[in-house]
């Protein structure tokens, strides 16, 4: 299976499809060399990023970034943070703004495989990414997030903002989930925090509902094998038109 860079959960929901003709205005549509990137302006949800036809984020979806970053804010020691994926900059921008009162401010490394996605979002979705990509506390790395996290150690927090689809030929989704959770646990210091998006409720798609029922226990088991204090949130993401599950946990101190 080739690398997939579509919907963050790897689900192809009816609610995540592009707006119908007349519902949105095309801003840009190009192949980056890795994936098809399209930005449209929706009359309700504002600017939207689609990758390979799957909705990633809209200007209406600040709740997504808040859900991903809030679990980190209770850490007393928060100096080194990694965001895996998140090339639209929304999670990074939310985190940087939330960390402004801290002294000294943490360093946030974002690892994104597609530099062109960063460029397009910076140019066309400033309401999503703000000034995140030029922020003094942001360290942008263009490359393979899985390879990067495999070598990382001693991080205070890791945010997983990537697909749940396997990126290796022949790898099952369950094996992929277990692998990424183990990598994050190894990269974190004792007492570090892992935050991730999991999946939607599949409001409009019975197949997605069935996959959610199967996948969530796999994710929980993988987390419980390496972490403690697992916590889940169910958050309405406006442009997904669905509740989305987010999960966080800590490594044993």
Instruction: List active site positions.
Output: 161
- What are the tokens at 26? 């095309």
Three-class secondary structure of residue 34 per DSSP: coil
DSSP 18: P
- What are the tokens at 162? 């990537």
Question: What is the spatial distance between Cα 185 and Cα 154, in angstroms, rounded to a whole number?
Answer: 10
Question: Which DSSP string do the residues of 98-154 spell out, in sequence order?
Answer: HHTTSSSPPEEEEEES-HHHHHHHHHH-HHHHTTGGG-TTEEEEES-HHHHHHH--S
Question: What is the spatial distance between Cα 195 and Cα 217, in angstroms, rounded to a whole number?
Answer: 17
Residue entry with tokens 């992929």: 176
């Amino acid at each position: 299976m080739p690398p997939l860079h579509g919907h963050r959960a790897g689900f192809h929901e009816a609610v995540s499809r592009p707006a119908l003709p007349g519902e949105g205005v095309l801003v840009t549509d190009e192949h980056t060399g890795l994936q098809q990137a399209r930005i449209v302006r929706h009359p309700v949800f504002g600017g939207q990023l689609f990758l390979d036809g799957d909705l990633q984020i809209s200007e209406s979806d600040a709740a997504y970034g808040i859900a991903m970053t809030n679990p980190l804010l209770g850490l007393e020691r928060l100096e080194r943070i990694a965001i895996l994926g998140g090339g639209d900059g929304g999670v990074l921008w939310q985190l940087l703004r939330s960390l402004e009162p801290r002294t000294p401010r943490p360093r946030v490394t974002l690892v994104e495989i597609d530099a062109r996605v960063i460029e397009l979002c910076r140019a066309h979705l400033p309401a999503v990414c703000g000034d995140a990509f030029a922020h003094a506390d942001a360290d942008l790395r263009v490359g393979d997030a899985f390879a990067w996290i495999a070598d990382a150690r001693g991080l205070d927090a890791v945010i997983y903002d990537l697909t749940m689809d396997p990126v290796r030929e022949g790898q099952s989704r369950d094996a992929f989930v277990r692998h990424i959770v183990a990598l994050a646990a190894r990269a974190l210091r004792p007492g570090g925090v892992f935050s991730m998006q999991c999946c939607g409720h599949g409001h409009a798609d019975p197949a997605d509902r069935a996959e959610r029922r199967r996948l969530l226990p796999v994710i929980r088991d993988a987390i419980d094998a390496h972490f403690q204090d697992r916590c889940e949130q169910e958050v309405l993401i406006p442009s997904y038109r669905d509740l989305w599950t987010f999960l966080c946990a800590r490594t044993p101190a």
